[in-house]
Structure formats: structure tokens, C-alpha cells
Amino acid sequence: MIETYSLGWSPEPVAATPIMNAPFITRSMLASSCLLTASASAALAKGRLPLEAVQVIELAGPDYDQLEREDAILAAAGAPARIAVPNTVSLFPETTGTWEHLDDGRMMWRLRVLSPGAAHLNIGFDRLALPSSAEMRIASFDGFDVTETITAETPLAEGQYWSPIIWGDEVIVEFEVDATQRRELERGVSIVSINEGYRGLRDYRDGPFHTSGSCNVDVACSSGDAWSCEIPSVGVYTINGTWTCTGAMVNNTSEDETPYFLTAEHCGVTPNNDQTVVVYWNYENSSCRTPGSAESAMVGDGPLTDTSTGAVLRAFDSNTDFALLELVSSPSESYGVSYAGWSRSASLPTVGAGIHHPNTAEKRISTPASVQHDSDSFYTDIFWEVVWAEGVTQPGSSGSPLFNGEHQIIGQLCCGNSYCNNPNEVDWYGKSFTSTWAKLSPYLDPTNTGQVMIDTLCGSEPCPWDLGGTGSVDQTALMALLALWGEPSASGDFDGSGVVDVIDLLELLEYWGACP
């Protein structure tokens, strides 16, 4: 049965702001894609209904031409980049979707969501209180893009769950639960948003709103060699599955790896939507593309498998344009995320680097020609003024960190005018660690040590063979690799041959067991 939703939409109001850099983002195929594929094959033997028998909710699909015109206006107004059209819904397993009995005595609920022509979809739950026996996942129709499995033990922000982006114009929402707990699941689940994605990290169209400028520099280039400890601290994130920005994990004086995430206030995270934040880690190209080349302006091969969902807004200030979030749970150790150091010295800093996701494309590194106090006396104590020697920022870079020469964050990107054809224009970074330190100190200096600066706490080395995100190289990783067999997947192509093949299988088996 197909149910058609005629859902209109309108962009959220955009506050009058300076012209600010903002971002856009999406998600690629998850390395754990085989989870649904494998489970689906096994389930057919248990008598699951064919997908054609599952109820479908159909949306109108995005109007790409109209959305692109609107995005040009939003970018000029300094709004965070929009990647999806939000649709408010009210869907419950008790009245929507298809229930069925499985051969093992458990029950399954599924719902298909279709948005013809959409690049990707994501689903928002304002209530996800799962009984002890329940499991939930969301997958693309072909089974190649699958979220992690959510259970009653999964940490959630205020009981809500906002999924990562799933590629394709049709997704399947799936729950399994013991028959005795079906009613408990029905009472505990409510879907409130379906977001139709129309652009993102792997957008197939060209143009200034869909990819990073060619002058930008991959973090895999030599410019990033000295920043290997800081690069993993930077991530790109979504809000409400619709808006996007860049941010960075920051260290605190206790160095206890509390997951504090620094970004820009104008990106729009509030106490009403912080639970919808999804951060993507390690989204970066595997090799250095020559800056200025056509290849550097194209979509790269960065994986989008490493995510953190849900946050709490801890502090913010509109003057220096910062927002400090605390993620609901720490990123998996297998992601290798680091905790960036910072300095609250008011002295003119040595030149360092800006690390960011321009247009929410793969992570890039920009090198300043100069860092000065803002030339406007009114803003001298509020912003750093930056002109670039190599690389620039773009919509998508908002909230990204500016590091001094000692590899410490001194501010986050507020606004600016730089772009590849005009690299000498100025960008501004908020002096949050000096002018508004009183709002940050309860979190970043919890024991009131009075430290003026702190170094980066490096994360563990990423474990590329942990394709299942379990923290070890195990059967889940093997299944994920086999699901990618023959595909040009960056996540499973360990030897860089361009395809997942027997050489990659042998390498995975070589590292079988705990991640090194």
C-alpha cells in the first residue's frame, strides 16, 4: 500500500546576520551496510513478507531548481547551509507500517519511505523508548547504506534519535522485538520528521554550492603533515537533518576526554534541537589532490562511516559566535578522534592553520598569510582577522577551529568573504577563549586551574579494518567487507587499488582480532 503525503515546506526563519560562512553535509554508504542485507537474506528464510508488501509513505520529492535558487539567497544571508527539505509527520508503529510474525517467535515492524529523486533521506524520532528485546535500524532500499543497530542500551539525547543520512530516495525503517513487548514498543516510538535530501557530501551535480573550491587543500597533502594530531578533532555535523556546520572536539584541563564539541553559535544549535545533532568524523580524501586542479574541485573518496548522534548545548555567546556542545556519548575509540588543545592568550598569535569542511565536502586545511586583531576597533576584542596564503573557507566551514602555531585553538569561524577567486578577502574567527572565557571555563577548566593554554590530546590511531564499528576486526567487519566486494569503496579498499578485492580481504584477516 502506498500512502502519499502532500507535504509543503518552508525554510526556517533566518536571523539578520553578517555574511557568514556556513556548510552543508551528507552521508556516504556505511561500511556496516551488509547488516541489513545479511539479515534480510536470513529473514526471508524465516518468512518475512517481501518488501513490496510493506506500507509506503511517499513524499513529493525535492524541486532541485527551486531549492538551488533559495540556497543562493540563504548563503548570501549567512545562514547555515541547508541539505534537506524538512517534513513534519506524525507516524507510530501502532497505526502505520507493516507488522509481521517471524519464525523465531519475534515480530518485525517495517515502513518504507519514498521521496522520488531525493539524493538521501534521514528520519527523526521525538520518542524512541525501546523495550529490552528491541532492535532498530534504517537502511536504503538496496540494503547498501545502513545505520548502526539501535537498542535500549544506546545512549540517546532526551529520548530522541535523529538518524545519519541514508543515500538513495527510498529507505526502510525496521524494528524487531519479542512478541510480548510489541505493545511496549508501539507506545515508545514516534516519528516526527522525514527530511528529503537534495545536496550533500557526495552530490552528483557540479557548481559552487555542491563541492569544495579547487584551491582548497586536502588534509592528506603535505600541509597537513604537521597537524596529524589535530586533524581528527574536526568533524562536520547536521542539525535536524537539514542544516550543517563544522566543529571540533576540545580538550579540558582534566584531560578526561569529556566529549566537548566547539562550533559557531550562528549555526543554530539550541536547547530545542541539540538532540538532533549528528557529527561525522574522518570525512577526508585518502590522497592529496593537487590544489587548483579539476580533481580538487570534485567529490572525493572520503568515508562517512564514523558518526556520533545527539548532544547537549552547554554554553554559547552571540558576540564571539561560539557554541559548546557535549556529545551524548564519546566517539568510538576506533574513530581515532582527538581532543584539540586551546589557548586563551590575548597576544597576537603565531600563524597556524584552519581545518574545516568547505561546503561540507571532505576535510581541508588552510594556511593563513596573517592573523591579526580585527581592524575595526569595535571588534578588536571579539574577532581574529585572517587572510589566507593557501586555501580559503566556504559555506560549510562555519564553526571550524583556527589554530595558532603551537597547535592550539584560538577561535572558531564566524564569518568572512574569502573564496577561491578572491583569496585575499578577510575571514573572522571569534575570540571565544579570551573575550568570553567565563562562559567556557566551567567546562574546559572544571577544577579552576587557571591554565592559559593546553595541548591537544591525541586520539588512538584509527583502525580502518574495523568496518563494523565494533572496536575490533571481527565477523561484522568481514561481512561488511564482503558486502562491498567489487565496489570502488574507500572504506574497504585498504590497498588503494580502486576496488575491494581479495588483497583487501587478506589484509583484513591479517589484522583479525583487537584493533592495533
Q: What is the pLDDT of residues 120-131, one digit of tens each?
A: 999 999 999 999
Regions of the chain short of the pLDDT cut 70: 1-47, 200-210, 460-462, 469, 471, 488-490, 496, 514, 516
The three-class DSSP label of residue 70 is helix
Residue 12: predicted pLDDT: 34
Q: What is the pLDDT of residues 257-280, one digit of tens each?
A: 999 999 999 999 999 999 999 999
Please name the fold of domain 2-11+28-197: Jelly Rolls (2.60.120)
Q: Is 36 exposed, middle or buried (0-12, 13-18, 19+ CB in 10 A)?
A: buried
CB under 8 Å to 475, separation ≥6 — which residues?
A: none
CATH tag for 222-454 (out of 2.40.70.10, 3.30.930.10, 3.40.50.720, 2.40.10.10)? 2.40.10.10
Active site residues: 266, 321, 398
Instruction: State how far the alpha carbon of 77 is from the alpha carbons of 11, 275, 418, in Å.
Output: 13, 26, 15
Residue 456: predicted pLDDT: 97
Residue 27: predicted pLDDT: 25
Q: What is the pLDDT of residues 381-436, one digit of tens each?
A: 999 999 999 999 988 899 999 999 999 999 999 999 898 988 889 999 999 999 99
Q: What is the pLDDT of residues 34-57, one digit of tens each?
A: 333 333 333 333 447 888 899 999
Residue 500: predicted pLDDT: 86
Partners of residue 150 on adjacent β-strands: 136
Cell digits for 199?
A: 545536496
Instruction: State how far the alpha carbon of 190 is from the alpha carbons of 195, 210, 444, 454, in Å.
Output: 15, 33, 36, 43
Tell me, yes or no, if the two domains 2-11+28-197 and 222-454 fold the same way.
no
For strands 106-114 and 56-58, give the pairing.
parallel
Q: Are 26 and 200 in contact (CB under 8 A)?
A: yes
Q: What is the DSSP string of 73-135?
A: HHHHTTPPEE-EEEEEEEE-TTTSSEEEE-TTSEEEEEEEEE-TT-SEEEEEEEEE---TT-E
Residue 82: predicted pLDDT: 84
Residue 150's CB: how many other CB atoms inside 10 A?
20
For strands 401-403 and 408-416, give the pairing.
antiparallel
Residue 473: predicted pLDDT: 87
CB under 8 Å to 44, separation ≥6 — which residues?
A: none
Residue 363: predicted pLDDT: 96
Give me the residue spans of the domains in the chain. 2-11+28-197, 222-454, 472-514
